[in-house]
Amino acid sequence: MNETPRIKQATSDVTFRDRWINVMAHLGINRNEYKVDPGLYALGSPDQDSPVLVTANYSPSFRALRTALKGIHGYALVLDTKGINVWCAAGKGKFGTDELVLRIEQANLGEIIKHRRLILPQLGAPGVAAHEVKKRTRFKVDYGPVRAADLPQYLATGEATAEMRRVGFPLKQRLEIVPVEIVNTLIFTIVLGLPLYFAGGVLATLAALAAVFAGNVLFPPLLPWLPTSNFSTKGFFLGALVALPFAVMASLGYHGGATWQRAGWALAHLLFMPPVTAFLSLNYTGSTTFTSWSGVKREIFAYVPVMAWMFAAGLLLMVALAVAHAMGA
Amino acid sequence: MKNMYEENTLRFDRELCTDCGMCIRVCPHEVFAHHNGEVRLANRSDCMECGACQMNCPFDAVTVDSGVGCAAAMMYQAVTKKKQPSCG
């Protein structure tokens, strides 16, 4: 059994399935299902001198590659990253040296092309050791641009500019994650908001929704402009701003009662809302393109206990006020 | 207030560096730069600890404790005692 595996033909068009996956991916639904068969694909009509581009078997990654190369003849070597995108898979070693070496051998690449050069997406670098691949397969790994859209220029000039190598986090990208975050925190929101109704009425439930909304929807676009450098403190700040109108409503007597009770209700909102927003803001580190592992760890140790204490104090105060109210105070 | 991202685990050993420039090519945040033909650590605090430079340095001149900078994954890991934090 030493026959050359079949080279699959790839389309450079955006298919209906591509669009469907795009919608689902933005909502975070069925995210383990956006897979492509790993292996070697022909883009256009490549020959033995055509470039070989390596990517992940996450459908949107492959789509970005094949559509960017419309009109260019080449090969796409798709690694089995279990349906995870290049950067995330590289971070976990799934887009890695071993997998690349295995796919080169399985595709019989040395027989199909004359040259010994592979172009990898730059963001595959955390998982692949270029010098190791060279040692094991004689193939030279060149890291191309971060974004597939820059590939035509890279192939023409043979060089990725500093701009092509830089990873930013523009508004469009920050907003793209918003629907996924809403879907992911839906159960948390219900578990938080529903019981609050029985303690603090509609205002408290709305307050919970507002605190979640601030963390999930307002935080991403405002990220660069919120004060301080840490995500938790940015979130505390935003959460406090959003809590203010609720505190004012409570102090004006939404829940009724004497002055001390009104002040108590206001304080309860100021205590429980900001940590909710801060916690979601801290979790947004997982979506960014720049937060370091050790920095996030320092944030967790410094701020999560504060969030927990504030949140618990706010809820306890609210329950105490509701009990006092029920007892006729 | 202390910036938790100012410090990180990236270390660069000039003695072992051969100025091949691989780290400059793989870094997404321009942490390394050429300076008069020599590779220099230009923006150390911009490092996100992805590990690309260490992985691709053939001379072990760069070390970094790499990992996924995601709070949810790290807290989930702490609770479940799993080895490596990851999404989904």
Q: From A135, which residue of chain B is nearest by alpha-carbon distance?
A: B58
Chain B residues with CB under 8 Å of A230 CB are 1-5
**Nearest-neighbour CA in chain A from B31: distance (Å):** 10
| Tens place of pLDDT per residue across chain A (329 aa) | 445 568 999 988 888 888 888 888 888 887 777 899 999 999 999 999 999 999 999 999 999 999 999 999 999 999 999 999 999 999 999 999 999 999 999 999 999 999 999 999 999 999 999 999 999 999 999 999 999 999 999 999 999 999 999 999 999 999 999 999 999 899 999 999 999 999 999 999 999 999 999 999 999 999 999 999 999 999 999 999 999 999 999 999 888 889 999 999 999 999 999 999 999 999 999 999 999 999 999 999 999 999 999 999 999 999 999 999 888 86
Q: Which of B50, B71, B86 sits opposite A126 (nearest CB)?
A: B50
Q: What is the pLDDT of residue B28?
A: 97
Contacting residues of A for B51, CB less than 8 Å apart: 91, 126
> Is position B41 within any domain?
yes
**Yes or no, beta carbons of A229 and B84 under 8 Å apart:** no
Among A81, A128, A290, A293, the residue to mutate for chain B (most B Cβ within 10 A): A293
- Domain annotation covers residue B43: yes
Strand partners of residue B34: B39
- Give me the residue from B27, B55, B70 closest to A128, CB to CB: B55
Is B46's CB within 8 Å of A122's CB? no
CATH of the domain at B35: 3.30.70.20
**Any CB–CB contact under 8 A between B83 and chain A?**
no
Helix (H) or strand (E) holding A39: strand A39-43
Whether residue B56 is contained in a domain is answered as yes
- The pLDDT of residue A1: 45
Strand B38-41 relative to strand B32-35, pairing: antiparallel
The residue length of chain A stands at: 329
CB–CB of A125 and B26 under 8 A? yes
* Residue in A91, A233, A287 nearest the CB of B50: A91
Cα distance between residue A137 and residue A132, in whole Å: 9
Distances (CA, A) of A303 to A32, A230, A311: 32, 10, 12
Residue B53 lies in a domain: yes
Whether B3 maps to a domain, the answer reads no
Residues in chain B closer than 8 A to A167 (CB atoms): 28-29
Is B17 within the bounds of a domain? Answer: yes
Nearest-neighbour CA in chain B from A286: distance (Å): 4
CA-based end-to-end distance of chain B: 33
Fold of A8-167: Rossmann fold (3.40.50)
CB contact under 8 A, B71 and A285: yes
pLDDT at B83: 61
- φ/ψ of A234, rounded to 5, equals -60, -45
* Of A150, A98, A157, the residue nearest A123 (C-alpha): A150
Q: Are A95 and A86 in contact (CB under 8 A)?
A: yes
1-40 in B: which are within 8 Å (CB) of A? Answer: 1-9, 22, 25-30
CB A321 within 8 A of CB A265: yes
Residue among B4, B30, B71 minimizing CB distance to A162 = B30
By residue range, what is the domain housing residue B70? 11-80
Q: How many domains, chain B? A: 1
Cβ burial, residue A97 (10 Å; 0-12/13-18/19+): buried
Mark B44-74 as b/e (b = at least 16 C-beta within 10 Å): eebbbbbbbbbbbbeeebbebebbbbbbbbb
Take residue A304 and report the two structure tokens written for it: 């999560």
The token pair at A88 is 């995330």
Task: Please report, for residues A113, A192, A208, A315, A322, the alpha-carbon distance to residue B87 in angstroms, rounded to integers and kept in the order given.
Answer: 37, 23, 26, 30, 39
Q: Which of A310, A197, A189, A321 is nearest to A263 (CA)?
A: A321
**Closest B-chain CA to A285:** B70
Looking at the complex, report in whole angstroms how far the Cα of residue A100 sits from the nearest Cα belonging to chain B.
Answer: 15
- Report the amino acid identity of residue A92: K
* pTM of this prediction exceeds 0.90: yes
Judge whether B4 lies within some domain.
no
- Model confidence at B79, pLDDT cuts 50, 70, 90, reads confident
Name chain A contacts of B84, Cβ cutoff 8 Å. Answer: 92
Q: What residues of A are in contact with residue B56 (Cβ under 8 Å)?
A: 125, 128-131
Q: What is the pLDDT of residues B63-78, one digit of tens each?
A: 999 987 778 888 888 8
E strand intervals along A86-189: 117-120, 140-143
In a domain, B2, yes or no: no
- The CATH 3.40.50.11600 domain(s) of chain A lie at 8-167
Report the pLDDT value the prediction gives residue A5, as an integer from 0 to 100: 65
